[in-house]
Structure 1
Amino acid sequence: MTIVLLIASVGFAQIHFTARMDGAQEVPPVTTTATGTGAFVLKAAGTALSYNITINGLTITAAHFHNGAAGAAAGVVKSLTFVNNTASGVWSSTDATQPLTDSLLSELLRGRLYVNAHTSANPGGEIRGQVLQAAPAGFFARMDGSQEVPPTSTTATGSVFVVLAPGGSATFRGTFTGLAPTAAHFHSAVPGVSGGVVKGFTLANNTVSGTWTPGDASQPLTDALLRDLVRGKLYANAHSSTNPGGEIRGQVLPAIGIGLTATIDGSQEVPPVTTTASGTGAFVLNASGSQLTYSISFNGLTPTAAHFHNGAAGVASDVVKSLTIVNGTAAGVWSSTDATQPFTDSLLVELLRGRLYVNAHTSANPGGEIRGQVLMASGAGFAVKLDGSQEVPPVTTNASGTASVVLHPNGTVSYDETVTGITPSAAHFHNAAAGATAGVVRNTTLTNNTVSGTWSSSDATQPLTDALLRELVKGRLYLNVHSSTNPGGEIRGQVVGSTGLATAVERIGQSELPSAYRLEQNYPNPFNPSTIITFEVGKTSRVALQVYNVIGQLVASLVDGVKEPGVYRVSMQSAALPSGVYFYSLSADGANIQTRKMLLLR
């Protein structure tokens, strides 16, 4: 039996948050040189918040999450335990005490949680930091008749992209093709279930676009709907006279990686073309920068060909990837391992810099009738934990640190970092993979053991070059803090994206190292609520272990990072997943190694 999966980089939410802690945010403000940095990742369908928080320059008597907006003092909702001035853990909806409730999830997404560190001198709090979404988050829907309830027989298709901005407002754009819509909406329900309308669309040439905010006079983006968006419980639905309940539907699922979008029309052609044709492209770049998943829908024209081209806005340029359109939509995965027209490292850079575009050609306009620049719509967050174990060779030290690094849609990088238990002599970004050392590419100046800054391509010294932007996405930058005791570096942290929730990843059987890759059958199988997956790594490589549902959508990324040769065991919790068949896949350096099937029974 051969199983073919169209693997899309969509799944459950991976939204990054940052907190900059200081005395100025206390109510009333506190004069202190103490500082702190928090890095947070919302995972597992919005039911778990991982956190790493480092504080420097004070002796903590207590620390907590509080529920209050900036400028307001409020009650404790979650206690924090610090070891050597760093707190690490996961705040879950299933915690026996102080759980991450639905209402607290909404407060997090609205920017109304803060971290507070108390001292004997300032029992109400000496330093505080609001926990804020670090960058926009992308969501992606691929629409067809098979997702309707019951399924419809139609060749119509569609693509929709949604961007959730910090603070809890959203923008959206979508194109439907192969049908004459009578109406289109967002509905609220999980896959396989029909739900009520929660947001209406205004159609123009089969394309919709707009904003959705909590302040809308009608159909506002409420706290409950915000949670539904993050949890994958909204869907886009296009209705027709033939199928008044809905002809095509697509679940709106959070992008795992960097979300990009393209608004496709004739005005962007060189020279511009007068046409009512339009299109929407939704794209997700995976965590290692090796695959671009795409769904591109065109309406109002009959394409003779369509491609990705490599050129900036306003410039016509060469084809770099051909697209196959079926029923008005091109959908697939562009990979670095493709035999022809691969997604190379240089094209990765061009994508991140906004220099790729989609072009649809017709007999009337052979050079292109509609075109759309592929632009980053959501950012990428990297939660970095610094310690001595990551140094080469490892360093024994109680020093630790936390950093939040964010790639923004405009191509700039911001960073916040706090270290503790160390007197730094210098601190930098370096360019190397985990387990290797390399030269400095960016100086960071710590004040009171904390630094905040931005890094752009236009910096006069140590700019964020195209090559370094690529290395950031590939996970080959690290933060290093040096001391007089350890001039080569006392604590270090790899800047690698966090893309999944595995309750434990354990290396076992280290006495006999494997020489090849292998993926074992999970045990138990069938399972509920947890199962163990064992895999072998034959050489040091970037390893991904990912779980997909039966329609090829990513539902969990259990492992995504550099692993040394060895045997590894992962414990997977299924609390956020419905019953059904799932496939789990092992890949190394972007190449698929093996895929197996497992069954979850509730």
Structure 2
Amino acid sequence: MKTSKQHRGLKPLHWLVLLVFTGLVGCDSGGGSNGGNNSSNSSSTATASSSSSSDSSSASSDSEPELRGFEVWLEGEQSVPMVQTDQSAMASVTINETDGLVTAEMDLNDVSGVNAAHIHTGEVGSNGPVTFGFSDADEDGVWKIEGEAVTQAQYEALIAGQWYVNVHTERYPDGEIRGQILTDTQTVHAFTLSGEQEVPPVETDGYGQGYLLYDSSNGMLTLNTWVWNLTATAAHIHLAEAGLNGDIVAGWEVSPDDEGVWQVPEETILGSDEVLALYMANLYVNIHTEANPDGEIRGQILPEGYELLLFDLSPGQEVPRVESSASGAGYATINTETGGLRLNAWSMNMQATAAHIHEAGIGENGDVAIGLEENTEQVGLWQIPVNTGMEAETQALLLSGGHYLNMHSDEYPDGEIRGQIVSGPWDVLTFALSGAQEVPPVETEAEGDGYALLNTELGDLTMVVNTRNLDTASAAHIHTGAAGVNGDILLGLEQDGIDASVWRLPGDISLDEPTLAELMEAGHYVNVHSPSHPDGEIRGQITY
């Protein structure tokens, strides 16, 4: 990557070119007095006679205007800061380059709570002033801009990727969905930064959001990253895939205008190797602090079609759970268009002898799907083979949490640490069940392991409970109540038809916001009942 001092090559408005050209021709034909005339009736193009000049002028007035159109996708991810929303929209923006006018149309009938929509001036990852306003004059849900004049400076900002469409709603008055207006050579990448993405992971309250625009016509890069709950000392772009640390590609500067914003220097250009890395999800942003000089939060820059999967490996996820101080961290990216998968997994406090991806959900053991290879240069690093791909059906199963990574050792040949491979807002919760947790405590040899997969945004919940030494279990429920407190039943679990020691939640369970918040604060427990202990023989607090 290098920094260029050359100015961007921007195409001026067509009508301005015509005026300048007309003036130059007038000088050549002796009509110098018309050189500065901006009127539409000024001298026409140079001809051999006044008659042909008149014919040319008539033809010019009858010709079709030169139009340039843009299709703009609006989503919450492009808003600053990002908005978690399922709403989206598509806008059509057209520039009449002959007359210097902008028109636009956007159907917002499927977007609830709309109270305003605008085109703003502002680069990706920054908020800017309103430039043009949409109107729903016909009250049909189709918002329009009906021919507003565009200045040369505004046009140059548009071509540089510095216009965006913003839709404001009652819930998000500053904007719920947003879309940068892009030329055919420009792409936008929005990504999040977290301590979980660091290698190794960092426990921190800090987080960030990054917004990148790349223009392949000139190699220009615009990148703005917002950070919260930390004091950054440096920021860089590095070259490496998820789960690996790489060299610095470019350093950043603190924004002089916005606190907590880091930017690449103006006129930053990507080299060919870095462009290839960008489109293969091999660039990441790293934010350094005094407490974590190697990086406190990190964000992999994901091109369109890529998914990032982060997961912990622990003894508690093994089925059954094992007692070990070992732990691990897994990082994966998948190209959802090609099925290409890359995965790096690190083990700590153990000597792994093998590692595999298995096909099974939480709380269940499954067959090996892909074997990993040990990296000979970095201790504890295991990787899937190069050029590993997945069929669409297998890929869908992976993204729904249907695979896990298992690391084996001599002491635990069936697996010492395990991690369910999950994407986005899905978290894995594990908990032990025992008679000692009952209120009052129960003396029993029965015990159990609980496994839950929770979508922390939508409240979707999957749960499996495996019991041991409890062949007479008669019922199992999730109850509301903190540790040491008995509470009412929230949900019932169903016993497996073949294996009586396995209990599962029915499908399609979704918690409302108050219940989800309570669950995440350890406000629920699982209770397994038996004829000898109808109030519960073993219990496990669901801990997040």
TM range (shorter): 0.3 to 0.5
Give TM-score, length-normalised by structure 2.
0.36
Give TM-score, length-normalised by structure 1.
0.33
Q: Comparing both structures, which one devotes a greater share of its residues to helix? A: 2
